[in-house]
Chain A
């Protein structure tokens, strides 16, 4: 089964769960005075879930054929291994690490680490350029956001 159908299948499952919640569990919490309303909080989700399930089925059953089925976008996912998949995954990992470290390690340190590690993953080895650039950029962004725009960003780790 092609990837687009798998995606439709996953969305179908999500829509079924969503529809189950809309049709069976949500209305139980509804206070009695709202039950006289012509529209309930679950009305619109009910419509949506039905439409989504139908559209998913159209794609899953292949009722609408694409003009050229071999139309490959910018990247052919069937040959994913031939691309720089490791680099991409490492960068995503770095982003997750950044999200987790931003609060405890402070903005300056985590941004500096993220920028330099990101460039390192992509193959940059000229540290005498990379490290100053990353440091200057982290400080410049922090200065702009915290001092100029007035949005608080904790600059240093939590223990300082």
Chain B
């Protein structure tokens, strides 16, 4: 581990990579504050830039910096305007916005910055300890287990997607898988489902799909409903940045607990920052004393620190399955995975052995990134808020233009733009009907790998027998089925109980 650390230190502290971290954090913070552009869309926009850098570790460091920056930027707008730019910072606005309205905006932003720093740093330490362990375990995995593990990941993503919406999430995942089979696969060398169109020969472009699924519907929603982009008056009076010693003592244990919890939730595929932040908020409220519980929702500093540190630790945690197993735990890491593959890096258990400098440089850059965020943001907080006062009339055309640019630069093909608009409209309609879109993208990205591993194990075992031959595969598949079935079964039982029908317990 020590020599790995040294490799990482020397890689991460090159001038180029340091600049990447700083640039990434800055870009992420500024764009993350804009309503409607979450880390997923920002990273999707940044991918063409990252790919042209050419050096995979620099590109990944840039994207990781953008990721942290975006999460922090999202908390800024949820605290100041009650307009969370990112789903993961919705819980931040529960207590952050009341604090801002009480005239404590500066203090709220400071607590958010410190809690994110704590969460991110503790997360990075845990990542350093657990990632090598996970990757040794992962080396024992066969293509059959990979196939099963991806099925587990996909069903976990679907199952966590929402109560009562499991079928919709599964349908979206399947749709993503269907879309992944379009085009020429690596395994068979024959085009499938292209309907004879040359433009589909190489399949759908993942950047186009990412833009169409996230950035475009959000922009359309902003147009449809002007109330969504709350325009931010004067950004609140931002002074009194200090927190007292007593307050510091109050939030320190919260940050510690929630960083741990957030990290492990982030490691689970499908959970991610949003769930971590909500769960962190809920847990802290439950274990707080009676009078502190009263304060939650009215501007409690604990209620602000909990989701902030959980959400940053979870972001770091979601790198564990990405870097060690090659399985993204969230939509954002799914996009990162796509970027990695485009850079000719295959994340997985071999990554630590074949290209340790990438792996460790990313980990070191996490510390640096967190430090940069803290140092940059504390003095910048008053100015940062100014971005939010860009008039909507300018903001929306620019968002649309950047989505167009993002998919055009990747492919240099104008047909891609028509596809983007078409899929964006479909995605908007799907969002109207409350279909979750992240599973679709994750399914699309995992689809190829899922099929490759499935095909490989079919060939190795000459048929479907591998499922029964390998207990681990069977076990994982059973877990996958349970993950999908149990929540809907429990929801059904809860409803039955509500309706007054006793069902035996």
Residues of A in contact with B (beta carbons under 8 Å apart): 2-4, 6-8, 11, 14-15, 18, 21, 26, 29, 34, 37-39, 41-45, 48-49, 51-52, 55-56, 58-59, 63-67, 71, 73-75, 77, 80, 83-85, 87-88, 91-92, 94-96, 98-100, 102-103, 111, 114-115, 118-119, 122-124, 130, 133, 137, 141, 145, 149-152
The smallest C-beta distance from A15 to any residue of chain B, in angstroms, reads 7
B220 touches A122 (CB 8 A): no
- What is the bound-complex CA distance between A67 and B175, given in angstroms? 24
Residues of B in contact with A (beta carbons under 8 Å apart): 48-49, 52, 163-168, 170-171, 174-175, 177-178, 181, 185, 187-188, 190, 192-193, 220-221, 223-226, 228, 391-394, 396-398, 400-401, 404-405, 408-409, 412, 414-415, 417-418, 420-421, 424-425, 429-435, 451, 454-455, 458-459, 461-463, 488, 491-492, 495
Q: Given that A7-B433, A83-B225, A123-B393 are contacting pairs, would A56 and B188 also be in contact in the complex, using a CB cutoff of 8 Å?
A: no
- What is the bound-complex CA distance between A66 and B404, given in angstroms? 35
A115 touches B398 (CB 8 A): yes
Q: List the B side residues contacting A3 at CB < 8 Å.
A: 429, 432-433
Can you add 10 more A-B contacts, CB < 8 Å, to A38-B461, A77-B432, A95-B417? A11-B171, A29-B190, A42-B192, A44-B451, A52-B174, A59-B168, A73-B432, A73-B434, A83-B224, A115-B401
A74 touches B225 (CB 8 A): yes
By beta carbon, the residue of chain A nearest B173 is: A55
B421 touches A151 (CB 8 A): no
* Count of CB-CB pairs between chains A and B under 8 Å: 183
By beta carbon, the residue of chain A nearest B417 is: A99
A111 touches B175 (CB 8 A): no
- What is the bound-complex CA distance between A145 and B410, given in angstroms? 11
Partner of B435, one of A7, A18, A44, A152: A7
Could you pull out 16 A-B pairs where Cβ atoms are within 8 angstroms?
A4-B433, A7-B435, A21-B193, A38-B458, A41-B187, A52-B178, A65-B164, A67-B164, A80-B224, A84-B223, A92-B425, A98-B417, A118-B397, A119-B393, A122-B223, A122-B393
Q: List the B side residues contacting A92 at CB < 8 Å.
A: 220, 421, 424-425
- What is the bound-complex CA distance between A4 and B433, given in angstroms? 5
By beta carbon, the residue of chain A nearest B174 is: A52
Q: Given that A64-B166, A87-B223 are contacting pairs, would A48 and B177 also be in contact in the complex, using a CB cutoff of 8 Å?
A: yes
The smallest C-beta distance from B95 to any residue of chain A, in angstroms, reads 22
Partner of A58, one of B167, B185, B397: B167
- What is the bound-complex CA distance between A114 and B405, given in angstroms? 12
The smallest C-beta distance from A102 to any residue of chain B, in angstroms, reads 5
> Which are the 6 A-B pairs with shortest beta-carbon distances?
A118-B397, A99-B417, A4-B433, A124-B393, A77-B432, A83-B224
By beta carbon, the residue of chain A nearest B223 is: A88
Q: List the B side residues contacting A95 at CB < 8 Å.
A: 400, 404, 417, 420-421
Partner of B429, one of A7, A45, A66: A7
- What is the bound-complex CA distance between A56 and B435, given in angstroms? 13
B223 touches A115 (CB 8 A): no
Q: Given that A26-B192, A55-B171 are contacting pairs, would A145 and B409 also be in contact in the complex, using a CB cutoff of 8 Å?
A: yes
- What is the bound-complex CA distance between A63 and B177, given in angstroms? 23
The smallest C-beta distance from B443 to any residue of chain A, in angstroms, reads 10
- What is the bound-complex CA distance between A130 and B488, given in angstroms? 52
Q: Given that A45-B192, A149-B49 are contacting pairs, would A64 and B181 also be in contact in the complex, using a CB cutoff of 8 Å?
A: no
Q: Given that A3-B432, A102-B417, A119-B397 are contacting pairs, would A15 and B178 also be in contact in the complex, using a CB cutoff of 8 Å?
A: yes
A55 touches B458 (CB 8 A): no
By beta carbon, the residue of chain A nearest B407 is: A99
Q: Given that A111-B401, A114-B401 are contacting pairs, would A96 and B495 also be in contact in the complex, using a CB cutoff of 8 Å?
A: no
Q: Given that A52-B174, A59-B168, A152-B412 are contacting pairs, would A71 and B163 also be in contact in the complex, using a CB cutoff of 8 Å?
A: no
Partner of A56, one of B52, B171, B394: B171
The smallest C-beta distance from A111 to any residue of chain B, in angstroms, reads 7
Q: Given that A55-B167, A122-B393 are contacting pairs, would A88 and B220 also be in contact in the complex, using a CB cutoff of 8 Å?
A: yes
Which of B178, B418, B495 has the most A CB atoms < 10 Å from its CB? B178
